[in-house]
Structure 1
């Protein structure tokens, strides 16, 4: 069983219909909507919503790709 500190709350988007949910990301990488096991459309496949840029892309560490504005 995962430690509470290992589970992160995230914003996740259904890859089938685009609905957005508050979700938990488990140490295994599995993303599960809070209070449910699937989307209202029946899909159980979710991607994290990126706070910056295009929200349709999964969240990734792109800090190396960002250029500074001077």
Structure 2
């Protein structure tokens, strides 16, 4: 099992508008958009991870 302090990046989408971007996934499951404070312009967006471990691609 990995270190509980490990976080990773993942592709995610807003379930309201479909905007796609990269998020930081924290060990507790919290998603934080990278390079911006908000993922999209939706008033209350819910993010869904599309793909994990993008750092591990060949």
- Length-normalised TM-score, structure 2: 0.65
Q: CA RMSD in A?
A: 2.2
Give 1:66's aligned residue.
none
Q: Write 1 or 2 for the structure with the bigger share of strand.
A: 2
Q: Which structure would you say has the larger Rg?
A: 1
- Runs of 4+ in structure 1 off by over 6 angstroms are none
What is the aligned residue count?
Answer: 48
1:28/1:44 CA distance change after superposition, 3 Å: farther
Q: Structure 1: 5+ residue runs without aligned partners?
A: 52-70
